[in-house]
Amino acid sequence: AGDRAWLQPHGLAQRCDRPRQVATPGKQSIEEVAGFLGVKAENTGKAVFYVDKDEKLIFAMIRGDFEVNESKLANHLGITEVN
């Protein structure tokens, strides 16, 4: 969460060359950002960051209305847990 989001309109009538950054003041959750931008949370994506026990950065990109299953992520990566 933060004060900025990247907006990429979808559909042929809303084509643009690249995503654009838009202000999202005071919005903390993906639901708040999606509502503010007038899109469904399922049409957004979010970045989630973790570290493993060796303090290596793990980056997961998921659909906005989903939550990361940390057990499945750790199993997929062959590690015991993510933090």
State the DSSP H helix or E strand holding residue 10, giving kind and residue range, or none if neither.
none
Residue 55 has pLDDT above 90, yes or no: yes
pTM of the entire predicted model: 0.67
Band (pLDDT 50/70/90 cuts) for residue 65 is very high
Could you report how far apart the first and last alpha carbons of the chain are, in Å? 18
Residue 14 DSSP symbol: G
Q: How far is CA 66 from the centre of its chain?
A: 9
β-bridge partners, 60: 48
Residue 69 has pLDDT above 50, yes or no: yes
Count the neighbouring beta carbons within 10 Å of the beta carbon of residue 19.
Answer: 11
Band (pLDDT 50/70/90 cuts) for residue 32 is very high
List the one residue out of 40, 44, 47 whose CA is nearest residue 19.
Answer: 44
